[in-house]
Amino acid sequence: MDWARIHDQKSFSAMTPALACFSFLYGFAVRVRMKTCSVKKKTSLPGFVVSLGNLTAGGTGKTPAAIMIAQWAASEGFQPAVLSRGYGGKRKEELLEVSDGKNLFARPAEAGDEPYLMAQKLPGIPVIVSPNRYRAGLLAHEKHAADFFILDDGFQHITLKRDLDLVLTDSHRPFGNGHLLPWGPLREPLHHLSRADVFILTRANPQNQDANGATEEFLRRRFQKPLFLSEHIPEKIVFPHGNKEYNTSFLKGKRVTAFAGLARPNAFRETVIALGAEVVSFKAFKDHHVYLPGQILQLIREKDRAGADCLITTEKDWVRIEGALKECPDLAYLRIRFVIASESEDFFEMIKEKAEKSGVRNRGKGRRQNAASSTHPRMQDGY
């Protein structure tokens, strides 16, 4: 089912009554959970806790944002660790150390594609997966002396006390049709955004405030919290089997076959087109799709039939197909970088002040920068 289309659809269809019914039941379950959790004592980790989350089902860029903050924290001399629930991973353990900062201990099928990608891109920084972020954080603290905890997709994990709640919202398609799952994309009602400390508007255009439109105005007016604009910057075109990478200008004038398994795969297609490529065919898969070798071979054949110059996907998709494909020199992925595009100095200064206020001090600016930016043999540089 095309959930992205359903979640954006505001008109009624034949499926609307059933979806509305399930949405009502989901909303009831959310209210019960929130009420139950509100009377429980929250657990606290020994350090600074920053949560990155959203109100909708995927598609806002939490993973590259978590990578950005982890790299910054390490460069400032903090001891960061990333704590993730590992959505999509088929692990047997309740607590899984994906990376200790030096070695990878799990594959995407076990850890989930996003924690694995973060572990690859964050040498020197442990990544731990568990539905119980408190236990994951204790492990990171006891084993790696972590004191700066980054909760990936943590807005709904309200049983753990946090010092800073960052909520990401897509500037172009923020809340879909405004309904709760499965009728709409909302994981919680809109008014629950009042729990946020800071909003980050993703895929925004800092040069054109009108492009960010009603979303920015709505968040500023209704919740009166700090708001920052961010962008996903296309950085490199990487051919992993050929050990080659190019600037994004490489795509200009190229005929490509593209595919993506994301919450909003068409965003990737639009990015490739904006970089000057002609997308001769495009295949969309569901978010966290597990690729079979036969599906990849079919995409390769489609590229050949269309006479395309290359087959391109996202970095997040690449980590899922890496083990399912022996070699394809024409397969590339797009590497992106998440940046705070407005008042970035204020953004990082805010985090630093909050961390120090919580009792966490950096251990000398830049002390871990080499570890956080070096290239480990199993950790090379998502949507």
- DSSP track, 328-362: -TTEEEEEEEEEE-SSHHHHHHHHHHHHHHTT---
Claim to verify: residue 187 and residue 262 sit in the same structural domain: no
Position 364 in a domain:
yes
Claim to verify: residue 204 and residue 346 sit in the same structural domain: yes
Position 38 in a domain:
no
pLDDT band, very low/low/confident/very high, at 211 (cuts 50, 70, 90): low
pLDDT at 374: 39
Distance (Å, whole) CA 75 – CA 159: 29
Least confident of 73-82, 101-110, 118-127, 205-214: 205-214
Mean pLDDT of 270-291: 94
CATH number of residue 354's parent domain = 3.40.50
Beta strands in the chain (DSSP E): 48-53, 80-84, 96-99, 127-129, 148-152, 164-170, 198-202, 227-239, 244-246, 255-261, 278-285, 310-314, 331-340
Claim to verify: residue 63 and residue 195 sit in the same structural domain: yes
pLDDT at 263: 84
- Residue % of the chain over a pLDDT of 90: 70
Burial, 200: exposed, middle or buried (Cβ in 10 Å; 0-12, 13-18, 19+)? Answer: buried
pLDDT at 153: 93
Claim to verify: residue 246 and residue 264 sit in the same structural domain: yes
Rounded to 10 deg, the angle between the 113-121 and 62-75 helix axes is 30
Claim to verify: residue 158 and residue 134 sit in the same structural domain: yes
Helix (H, G, I), strand (E, B) or coil at 228: strand
pLDDT band, very low/low/confident/very high, at 172 (cuts 50, 70, 90): confident
Six-digit token string for 29: 């379950």
DSSP strand pairing (227-239 vs 127-129)? unpaired
pLDDT band, very low/low/confident/very high, at 145 (cuts 50, 70, 90): very high
pLDDT at 189: 96
pLDDT at 173: 84
pTM of the model: 0.90
Query: What would the pLDDT profile of 32-69 be if each residue is shown by its tens digit?
Result: 999 998 888 899 999 999 999 999 987 788 999 999 99
pLDDT at 205: 76
Position 40 in a domain:
no
Q: Where are the alpha helices (DSSP H) in 39-160?
A: 62-75, 108-111, 113-121, 133-144
Go through 296-318 and write b for each residue having 16 or more CB atoms within 10 A of its CB, e for each that does not.
Answer: beebbebbeeeebbbbbbbbbbb
Position 24 in a domain:
no
Mean pLDDT of 364-368: 54
Claim to verify: residue 327 and residue 366 sit in the same structural domain: no
Q: Residue 340: is its pLDDT beyond 90?
A: yes
Position 289 in a domain:
yes
pLDDT at 212: 67
Claim to verify: residue 79 and residue 184 sit in the same structural domain: yes
Least confident of 2-11, 119-128, 189-198, 313-322: 2-11
- DSSP for residue 376: B
* CB-CB contact of 383 with 336 (8 Å): yes
Position 225 in a domain:
yes
Mean pLDDT of 108-129: 95
Claim to verify: residue 109 and residue 245 sit in the same structural domain: no
Q: Residue 248: is its pLDDT beyond 70?
A: yes
CA R_g for the chain = 21
Claim to verify: residue 224 and residue 261 sit in the same structural domain: no
Position 42 in a domain:
no
Q: Residue 328: is its pLDDT beyond 90?
A: no
Position 67 in a domain:
yes
Claim to verify: residue 141 and residue 264 sit in the same structural domain: no
pLDDT at 364: 66
Mean pLDDT of 220-234: 94
Which residue range(s) make up the domain with 279?
234-337
What mean pLDDT value characterizes the chain?
Answer: 90
Distance (Å, whole) CA 197 – CA 212: 20
Claim to verify: residue 168 and residue 101 sit in the same structural domain: yes
The number of folded domains in the chain is 2
Claim to verify: residue 130 and residue 201 sit in the same structural domain: yes
Burial, 232: exposed, middle or buried (Cβ in 10 Å; 0-12, 13-18, 19+)? Answer: buried
Helix (H, G, I), strand (E, B) or coil at 31: helix
Mean pLDDT of 174-192: 95
